[in-house]
Amino acid sequence: MSDHHIKRLVIMRHAKADWPMGVPDHERPLEERGHREAPLAGKWLLKHGVVPDFILCSSALRTRQTCTWVCDELGDKAPTPKLEDGLYSASANRMLTVINHVPDTVTTLMVISHMPGVQDLAMHLASRDSDHDAYMDAATRYPTSALTVMETEKTWAELDGQDARLTHFKVPRH
Protein backbone atom coordinates (compact mmCIF):
# COMPACT_ATOMS: atom_id res chain seq x y z
CA MET A 1 0.00 0.00 0.00
CA SER A 2 1.33 3.43 -0.85
CA ASP A 3 0.95 5.70 2.17
CA HIS A 4 -0.63 8.63 0.33
CA HIS A 5 -3.69 6.58 -0.63
CA ILE A 6 -4.26 4.94 2.75
CA LYS A 7 -7.26 5.94 4.80
CA ARG A 8 -7.48 5.02 8.45
CA LEU A 9 -10.63 4.21 10.38
CA VAL A 10 -10.61 4.22 14.18
CA ILE A 11 -13.62 2.49 15.74
CA MET A 12 -14.03 3.15 19.46
CA ARG A 13 -16.49 1.83 21.99
CA HIS A 14 -17.45 4.48 24.56
CA ALA A 15 -15.80 4.39 27.99
CA LYS A 16 -17.41 2.66 31.01
CA ALA A 17 -20.91 4.03 31.59
CA ASP A 18 -23.01 4.23 34.73
CA TRP A 19 -26.54 2.82 35.12
CA PRO A 20 -28.31 5.42 37.33
CA MET A 21 -31.88 4.54 38.29
CA GLY A 22 -34.52 6.23 36.20
CA VAL A 23 -32.12 7.68 33.63
CA PRO A 24 -33.01 6.91 29.99
CA ASP A 25 -30.34 4.84 28.19
CA HIS A 26 -29.49 7.71 25.82
CA GLU A 27 -28.65 9.95 28.81
CA ARG A 28 -26.48 7.50 30.76
CA PRO A 29 -23.24 9.22 31.88
CA LEU A 30 -19.75 7.78 32.23
CA GLU A 31 -18.92 6.32 35.61
CA GLU A 32 -15.68 7.21 37.43
CA ARG A 33 -13.65 4.50 35.67
CA GLY A 34 -14.90 5.78 32.31
CA HIS A 35 -13.67 9.29 33.12
CA ARG A 36 -10.25 7.82 33.98
CA GLU A 37 -9.94 5.56 30.92
CA ALA A 38 -11.36 7.71 28.11
CA PRO A 39 -8.35 10.11 28.13
CA LEU A 40 -6.00 7.12 27.79
CA ALA A 41 -7.50 6.42 24.35
CA GLY A 42 -6.59 9.94 23.25
CA LYS A 43 -3.06 9.52 24.64
CA TRP A 44 -2.64 6.22 22.77
CA LEU A 45 -3.82 7.79 19.49
CA LEU A 46 -1.33 10.66 19.86
CA LYS A 47 1.55 8.37 20.82
CA HIS A 48 0.93 6.17 17.76
CA GLY A 49 0.36 9.04 15.33
CA VAL A 50 -3.26 8.08 14.67
CA VAL A 51 -4.85 11.51 14.85
CA PRO A 52 -8.33 11.75 13.35
CA ASP A 53 -9.16 14.64 11.04
CA PHE A 54 -12.88 13.85 11.43
CA ILE A 55 -14.83 12.32 14.34
CA LEU A 56 -18.35 10.92 14.14
CA CYS A 57 -19.85 10.44 17.59
CA SER A 58 -23.13 8.89 18.69
CA SER A 59 -25.43 11.47 20.26
CA ALA A 60 -25.70 9.50 23.54
CA LEU A 61 -24.25 11.23 26.62
CA ARG A 62 -21.66 8.50 27.34
CA THR A 63 -20.22 8.69 23.82
CA ARG A 64 -20.19 12.51 23.90
CA GLN A 65 -18.31 12.45 27.21
CA THR A 66 -15.85 9.86 25.85
CA CYS A 67 -15.31 12.05 22.78
CA THR A 68 -14.65 15.12 24.94
CA TRP A 69 -11.93 13.29 26.88
CA VAL A 70 -10.30 11.99 23.67
CA CYS A 71 -10.37 15.46 22.10
CA ASP A 72 -8.91 17.01 25.28
CA GLU A 73 -5.90 14.70 24.90
CA LEU A 74 -5.57 15.44 21.17
CA GLY A 75 -5.47 19.15 22.03
CA ASP A 76 -4.97 21.46 19.03
CA LYS A 77 -4.96 18.44 16.70
CA ALA A 78 -8.55 17.48 17.62
CA PRO A 79 -11.17 18.06 14.93
CA THR A 80 -14.62 19.36 15.84
CA PRO A 81 -16.67 16.19 16.35
CA LYS A 82 -19.94 15.70 14.50
CA LEU A 83 -22.75 14.25 16.60
CA GLU A 84 -24.61 11.60 14.67
CA ASP A 85 -28.02 10.38 15.94
CA GLY A 86 -27.77 7.48 13.47
CA LEU A 87 -24.88 5.95 15.44
CA TYR A 88 -26.94 5.49 18.62
CA SER A 89 -27.90 1.79 18.94
CA ALA A 90 -26.77 1.34 15.35
CA SER A 91 -26.07 -1.96 13.66
CA ALA A 92 -22.81 -2.45 11.78
CA ASN A 93 -24.67 -1.88 8.50
CA ARG A 94 -26.15 1.40 9.76
CA MET A 95 -22.69 2.57 10.92
CA LEU A 96 -21.22 1.64 7.56
CA THR A 97 -23.92 3.67 5.78
CA VAL A 98 -22.93 6.71 7.88
CA ILE A 99 -19.23 6.11 7.10
CA ASN A 100 -20.00 5.72 3.37
CA HIS A 101 -21.20 9.35 3.38
CA VAL A 102 -17.97 10.82 4.83
CA PRO A 103 -16.21 13.18 2.40
CA ASP A 104 -13.17 11.66 0.70
CA THR A 105 -11.01 14.55 1.91
CA VAL A 106 -11.03 12.84 5.34
CA THR A 107 -7.97 10.59 5.69
CA THR A 108 -8.34 9.45 9.32
CA LEU A 109 -11.89 8.94 10.53
CA MET A 110 -12.82 8.12 14.12
CA VAL A 111 -16.22 6.66 15.02
CA ILE A 112 -17.28 6.56 18.69
CA SER A 113 -20.31 4.38 19.27
CA HIS A 114 -21.79 1.35 21.06
CA MET A 115 -21.76 -2.43 21.29
CA PRO A 116 -22.54 -4.63 19.50
CA GLY A 117 -22.30 -2.37 16.44
CA VAL A 118 -18.65 -1.35 16.93
CA GLN A 119 -17.42 -4.93 17.18
CA ASP A 120 -19.67 -6.14 14.36
CA LEU A 121 -18.42 -3.30 12.13
CA ALA A 122 -14.76 -4.07 12.81
CA MET A 123 -15.30 -7.77 12.05
CA HIS A 124 -17.34 -6.98 8.92
CA LEU A 125 -14.65 -4.67 7.50
CA ALA A 126 -11.57 -6.69 8.51
CA SER A 127 -9.72 -8.07 5.50
CA ARG A 128 -7.90 -11.38 5.30
CA ASP A 129 -4.52 -9.67 5.65
CA SER A 130 -5.42 -8.16 9.03
CA ASP A 131 -3.01 -8.51 11.95
CA HIS A 132 -3.98 -11.91 13.35
CA ASP A 133 -3.57 -11.12 17.06
CA ALA A 134 -5.41 -7.79 16.79
CA TYR A 135 -8.20 -9.47 14.82
CA MET A 136 -8.61 -12.27 17.36
CA ASP A 137 -8.62 -9.81 20.27
CA ALA A 138 -11.30 -7.66 18.62
CA ALA A 139 -13.34 -10.74 17.69
CA THR A 140 -13.37 -12.27 21.17
CA ARG A 141 -13.80 -9.20 23.39
CA TYR A 142 -14.59 -5.54 22.85
CA PRO A 143 -14.59 -3.90 26.28
CA THR A 144 -15.38 -0.27 27.01
CA SER A 145 -12.82 2.24 25.64
CA ALA A 146 -11.52 -0.33 23.14
CA LEU A 147 -10.04 1.03 19.90
CA THR A 148 -9.72 -0.72 16.55
CA VAL A 149 -7.48 0.86 13.92
CA MET A 150 -8.04 -0.16 10.31
CA GLU A 151 -6.42 0.86 7.01
CA THR A 152 -7.86 0.83 3.51
CA GLU A 153 -7.03 2.13 0.06
CA LYS A 154 -10.72 2.44 -0.78
CA THR A 155 -12.77 5.62 -0.59
CA TRP A 156 -15.24 5.88 2.30
CA ALA A 157 -18.09 5.43 -0.18
CA GLU A 158 -16.54 2.16 -1.45
CA LEU A 159 -16.03 0.56 1.97
CA ASP A 160 -18.18 -2.52 1.99
CA GLY A 161 -16.79 -5.58 3.72
CA GLN A 162 -13.46 -7.35 4.22
CA ASP A 163 -11.72 -4.40 2.59
CA ALA A 164 -9.90 -2.76 5.52
CA ARG A 165 -6.81 -4.21 7.19
CA LEU A 166 -7.19 -4.37 10.96
CA THR A 167 -3.80 -3.18 12.24
CA HIS A 168 -4.34 -2.49 15.95
CA PHE A 169 -6.78 -3.41 18.70
CA LYS A 170 -6.11 -1.58 21.96
CA VAL A 171 -7.88 -1.44 25.29
CA PRO A 172 -6.45 1.59 27.14
CA ARG A 173 -6.22 0.89 30.87
CA HIS A 174 -4.29 2.39 33.78
Using the predicted structure, report yes or no on whether residue 99 has a pLDDT greater than 90. Answer: yes
Annotated binding site: 62
Q: Any residues with CB less than 8 A from the CB of 136 and at least 6 apart, and which?
A: none
Residue 1: predicted pLDDT: 43
Cite the annotated binding site for substrate by residue number: 62
Percent of the chain exceeding pLDDT 70 equals 97
What is the pLDDT at residue 143? 97
d(CA 106, CA 120): 23
Query: Rounded distance, CA 106 to CA 7, Å?
Result: 8
Q: Which helix (H) or strand (E) holds 171?
A: none
Delineate the domains of the chain, giving CATH numbers in brackets.
Answer: 7-170 (3.40.50.1240)
Is residue 116 reached through a cis peptide bond, with omega within 30 degrees of 0 on the bond before it?
yes
pLDDT of 60 strictly over 60: yes
